[in-house]
Structure 1
Amino acid sequence: MNDKLLVVKEDVDRLIATAIQEIGTAESSKALQDIRVKYTGKKGELTQISKQMKDLEKDEKPVLGQLINEFHQTFNKTIERKQEEVTQKELAAQLASESMDISLPGRRQNFGTRHLLTQTREDLEDLFLGMGYQVIEGPEVELDSYNFEKMNLPKNHPARDMQDTFYISEEVLLRTHTSPVQARAMEKHDFEKNGPLKMVSPGKVFRRDNDDATHSHQFHQLEGLLVAEKITMADLKGTLLQFAKAFFGEEREIRLRPSFFSFTEPSVEVDVSCFKCGGQGCGICKGTGWIEVLGAGLVHPNVLEMSGIDSTKYSGFAFGVGIDRVAMLKHNVDDIRHFYQNDLRFLTQFKGGQN
């Protein structure tokens, strides 16, 4: 080993001894980082020694390379051990200074819930799915022909006044009920291939009503339809009785009162026995023992024929449930506007349907 290489080796030995000593006295992560830069950085002392390799003989250069590698190995192991020690001390000091009580329970996260109208709609859908119905949805922006004419409400028919709505053009409007979905479904249904048509069509509807405690220009409906051979009022009553018992309570009874709807004949208003007083008479049922919940009837032959169905072979029944109305009745909500005002004091009372 010539004199020049000997001097370099002594410099490396001295450097590692000094570095180990400084690492041992370091008290912080910052101090360790400064030591790392001082010895192994781009302008560090070891880098300066490495530059002397160009002055060595060819057979001496590998010797210096080995010395430098040994320095890195010793230096890195020493600084890593010290870093673990310093990190633990710094963490302990931080915990002490911040006075963190790790025994405290965590902050509870508040979870949102489905809106009461969504809960009610899903409950109704589940009920009728269990009875063999399918759920079919349709457009909220509808054609006059489907919304009125195919529902046996020709232009200038006086019954249209009860369903005045928002018109986009003379033939395009915001639907006033979900019955147009039934007309669309009947047009497409193949009775020979698929058998009876059993469906419910839930969704948002619009009417030109003044907003008050029981009316809104926007509300929700779920309409049901069954078309098959030899359907009678007995089938309708049995279905609605099952609905009332499942939704309002097993003790409920229903009654049918004659009414008028252009798309059904005969038509009925359906009342359910009061679930507050059991039919004895109270403020909710206005002393009658009964609460009106929906309209229904046998599908008018004209409606069947306009959808391409032979009314001499097939018959059916239809019913329309106001989702807002039954939600108000079931949960004793006194104002329909509560559903649309986004008041958390109201909405958080109904915890079903949690996401």
Structure 2
Amino acid sequence: MTDLDQLRDHLLAAVEASGGLDALDTVRVGALGKQGTITGLLKTLGGMSPEQRLVEGPRIQGLREAVTAAIADKKAALDRADLDARLARETLDMTLPADGVGAGSVHPVSQVMDELAEIFADLGFAVATGPEIEDDWYNFTALNIPETHPARAMHDTFYFPEGEGERKMLLRTHTSPVQIRAMQAAGGNKPIRIIAPGRTYRSDSDATHTPMFHQVEGLVIDKGITLGHLKWTLETFLKAFFERDDIVLRLRPSYFPFTEPSAEVDVGFSLVNGKRVIGGSDGWMEVLGSGMVHRTVIEAGGYDPDEWQGFAFGCGIDRLAMLKYGMDDLRAFFDGDIRWLKHYGFAALDVPTLSGGVGA
């Protein structure tokens, strides 16, 4: 038996005798590592004559392949044995309750939107939507805010670059354009009762303002509509939303281009442990704007203002959430802070509902 045959038998026996992956790796390094036995034999080929290399080269290479294959087979066998041992040792009790998994939550804005839709559905209102990218006719002109009107300066509008001969395009500053689109879709001859919730945009940012915020507006168009209908609707809505019967409203004369007369709506609050709580009459807090729809707006929607009348109102959904659920900084609504979301969010299957409906 030659020296190579003896080395082959020795190495294969060492591989077979390896009792674990660490021992097997020691054999691999001793045979095939940089300073290994077989590696050293391969290095001697360079000093041999061509005739010797023809004889010794295939023998040494065959030794290398045999040891490499034996190591791979042994490693696979050790891995299988280790897995079998783990399967025999480890058990899983399928009767135990599952670990809790991370779950998302309903954002306060989404929760309030759902509450608004629920309340106004009880009052016979449908939900209407419209594009967030509007032209200035729907956003301003049709709402009695012509190009030279000073009220345009109140809106801090995000305009898009203007093409020659094209209407000015912008991010809508309120959801009021939906009112015009709803009137046009009705054809000027049907009663309308809608709310229009959605995102709006203005260039403003502080504790109570953000460049993007959420707003809901309401519109009623019918024959014989009066300011009394507006007050009853708002009072009923606020009582249902804040879930209190001691809601007291105060309508203050104000100015909005799209309503005449116009009124700011204040709601009474009580002081509880130094904090303002909606309900009672310790003081007044402004919550929304409202008024009777301006004749010009009714005409822009395709209705005859001598025959049809209506009222409209609008408020910030984010502000309603702050008042009801106790947030004090509007910017936190959009920061994406997981701690804030966990604290103020609602479990998807355990959200508060107003399914009791509104009062008669």
Show structure 2 runs of 5+ residues with no match: 1-81, 163-167, 350-360
2:237 alignment partner, SS class = helix
1:153 alignment partner, SS class = coil
The question of 1:306 aligning with 2:303 is answered no
Measured after TM superposition, the shift of residue 114 of structure 1 is: 1.8
Q: Which runs of 4+ in 1 moved over 6 A?
A: none
Measured after TM superposition, the shift of residue 163 of structure 1 is: 0.4
Determine the structure 2 residue equivalent to 1:217. 211
Query: Bigger radius of gyration, 1 or 2?
Result: 1
Residue among 329, 337, 340 paired with 2:331 = 337
Please give the alpha-carbon distance, in whole angstroms, between the structure 1 residues aligned to 2:291 and 2:301: 18
The question of 1:156 aligning with 2:152 is answered no
How is 1:89-238 mapped onto 2 (pairs within 5 angstroms)? 94=86, 96-98=88-90, 105-170=97-162, 171-190=168-187, 192=189, 195-209=190-204, 211-238=205-232
Amino acid across the alignment from 2:173: T
2:343 alignment partner, SS class = coil
> Percent of pairs identical after alignment?
47
Measured after TM superposition, the shift of residue 284 of structure 1 is: 3.2
Amino acid across the alignment from 1:183: I
Please give the alpha-carbon distance, in whole angstroms, between the structure 1 residues aligned to 2:339 and 2:328: 15
Measured after TM superposition, the shift of residue 274 of structure 1 is: 1.4
TM-score, scaled relative to structure 2 = 0.67
Determine the structure 1 residue equivalent to 2:53. none
Show structure 1 runs of 5+ residues with no match: 1-89
Contact 1:196 1:226 in 2 (8 A): yes
TM-score, scaled relative to structure 1 = 0.68
Measured after TM superposition, the shift of residue 350 of structure 1 is: 3.3
Determine the structure 2 residue equivalent to 1:324. 318
Measured after TM superposition, the shift of residue 98 of structure 1 is: 3.1
Range that drifts further, 139-148 or 241-250: 241-250
How is 1:48-67 mapped onto 2 (pairs within 5 angstroms)? none
Determine the structure 2 residue equivalent to 1:256. 251
Measured after TM superposition, the shift of residue 348 of structure 1 is: 1.2
Determine the structure 2 residue equivalent to 1:53. none
The question of 1:270 aligning with 2:262 is answered no
For the aligned residues, what is the CA RMSD? 2.6
1:349 alignment partner, SS class = helix
Please give the alpha-carbon distance, in whole angstroms, between the structure 1 residues aligned to 2:124 and 2:277: 32
1:265 alignment partner, SS class = strand
